[in-house]
Amino acid sequence: MKDWAVGGVSIAAALSVAGLIAFMAGPYSVTAGGWSVFVLCAIFAFAVQWIVFVHAWVTKTEIYYDLTGSITYVVMVGSAVFLSGTNDIRSLLIAGLICVWALRLGPFLYRRIKKAGEDRRFRKLKTSFPMFLMTWTLQGTWVFITACCALAAITSVNQVPLAEPFYIGIVLWLVGFLIEVIADQQKSAFRAEPANSTRFISSGLWAWSRHPNYFGEILLWLGITLMAFPVLQGGQLITLISPIFVFILLNYISGVRMLEARATRLWGDEPEYQAYKRNTPALMMWPPKN
């Protein structure tokens, strides 16, 4: 009963948050078949999750979880472009950049989980129907909120000429994307060495930040927001929560917080790790101290 209560409340809360954003921003979107395209994209976010969840529950596997999240980004922005019929440069470039990011990250995470054989986060969750469904529903909310600012811009009835914020946003996205890609590649190469399988990485970008990949992701979504901001109006302004949500999620909920706790359990008593933690920012990148 406890699982049903926790899962049910969490699912209701997740759907309510997404519904509020859709309700606020939807009226400023172009329509397709009498429906706000922005609202349709919100529906698609959960539809993709629940369709794949059926397979995941039957087979008791979480291997496609992260990959499904990335696919959902592509489905949403692709649908937004197609259903709105836009040929606006801003909209097309925002959609393209999100697809590039998602199609790089999704397969990377999928290969990592497949190699590991499991995602430890799901050991208990995948044995409970309401809790497992909750995780997929929460991912739908996470994907939608993260991309909502981009979706609002792509589907907006308001279009304005490109200006400085757009170009600054592109630069931020490029820098953030490169940081994330390089950090992931460096960590993968480090872990590929058998001697490093149980060690922490402190070289390359990881000497500048203990979580440079997350810093890069936050930066690129901030770039997307700057690109989208000039066309937002009225209730669409609620979608500016996107980069704030990404920062809070990665820094305080799922990413940094969880990995820092695990690192403390594994290496917290080691002087070398203590020095690394003392001299290296958790998230913000900063030149290493000599």
Specify the pLDDT at position 116.
Answer: 76
CB neighbour burial string for 47-65, b if at least 16 within 10 angstroms, e if fewer: ebbeebbeebeeeeebbbb
Q: Does residue 151 register a pLDDT over 90?
A: yes
In a domain, 288, yes or no: no
Prediction pTM value: 0.94
Q: Per-residue pLDDT tens for 19-69?
A: 999 999 999 999 999 999 999 999 999 999 999 999 999 999 999 999 999
Q: Does residue 115 register a pLDDT over 80?
A: yes
In a domain, 241, yes or no: yes
> How many domains are contained in the chain?
1
In a domain, 290, yes or no: no
Specify the pLDDT at position 235.
Answer: 96
Q: Per-residue pLDDT tens for 278-290?
A: 999 999 999 987 6
| Residue-number span of the structural domain to which 103 is assigned | 2-279
In a domain, 289, yes or no: no
Q: Does residue 123 register a pLDDT over 90?
A: no
In a domain, 286, yes or no: no
Distance CA 61, CA 73 (A): 21
Is residue 226 classed as helix, strand or coil in its secondary structure? Answer: helix
In a domain, 285, yes or no: no
Q: How many CA atoms lie within 13 A of 262 on its CB side?
A: 12
